[in-house]
């Protein structure tokens, strides 16, 4: 909800994403070429393989169903208009999510957002060996926000 939350609340003046997964965008692409039950099964299997099953109160199948139910509002690209006047920090790593995050940052800039900061740290999704660098990048961005 790193994108959907601020997009839904105009009082939020700035937002940050850290290796955010555009699951809504992925589901939207899948549904363009696959039947809904097939897309749900594929996404559920991928989520289960990533270890998403232990999340409290949810299952990979349930998460995949949620994606289908919210495919019209959860893709990052669909939130650009709502967020184009906000200050944004988009942090990426070597976890396979950088391309979709970079596309989102580029879409914000193309829509006129001149307050998009991006940072890439060469590490895993948990930022295991770069947490101090990550903290510094976020703190630097926060310190530069208008008061």
Q: What is the CATH number of the domain that holds 87?
A: 3.40.50
Co-location of 43 and 103 in the same domain: no
Co-location of 51 and 13 in the same domain: no
pLDDT at 24: 85
Identify the domain containing residue 122 by its residue range. Answer: 4-22+76-144
pLDDT at 1: 59
Q: What's the CA angle centered on 91, arms 82 and 10, to 5 degrees?
A: 20
Co-location of 88 and 65 in the same domain: no
CA dist., res. 127 & res. 120, Å (int)? 11
Co-location of 138 and 82 in the same domain: yes
Co-location of 12 and 45 in the same domain: no
Co-location of 42 and 86 in the same domain: no
Other Cβ atoms within 10 Å of 104 Cβ, number: 25
Co-location of 16 and 80 in the same domain: yes
Query: Structural domain tally of the chain?
Result: 2
Co-location of 94 and 127 in the same domain: yes
Co-location of 80 and 139 in the same domain: yes
The one-digit pLDDT tens for each residue of the chain (147 residues) are: 579 899 999 999 999 999 998 888 888 888 899 998 888 898 888 888 877 666 677 888 888 888 888 887 888 998 999 999 999 999 999 999 999 999 999 999 999 999 999 999 999 999 999 999 999 999 999 999 988
Co-location of 87 and 122 in the same domain: yes
Q: Is the pTM of this model over 0.75?
A: yes
Co-location of 86 and 63 in the same domain: no
Co-location of 58 and 80 in the same domain: no
Contacts of 66 (CB under 8 A, 6+ apart): none
């Amino acid at each position: 909800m790193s994108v959907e939350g601020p997009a839904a609340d105009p009082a939020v003046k700035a937002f940050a994403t850290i290796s955010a997964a555009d699951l809504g965008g992925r589901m939207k692409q899948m549904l363009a070429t696959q039947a809904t039950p097939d897309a749900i099964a594929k996404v559920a299997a991928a989520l289960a393989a990533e270890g998403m099953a232990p999340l409290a109160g949810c299952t990979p199948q349930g998460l995949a169903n949620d994606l289908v139910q919210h495919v019209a509002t959860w893709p990052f690209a669909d939130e650009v208009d709502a967020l184009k006047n906000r200050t944004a920090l988009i942090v990426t790593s070597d976890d396979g999510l950088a391309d979709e995050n970079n596309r989102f940052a580029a879409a914000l800039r193309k829509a006129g957002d001149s307050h998009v900061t991006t940072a890439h740290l060469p590490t895993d999704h948990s930022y295991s060996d770069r947490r101090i660098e990550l903290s510094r990048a976020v703190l630097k961005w926060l310190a530069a926000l208008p008061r």
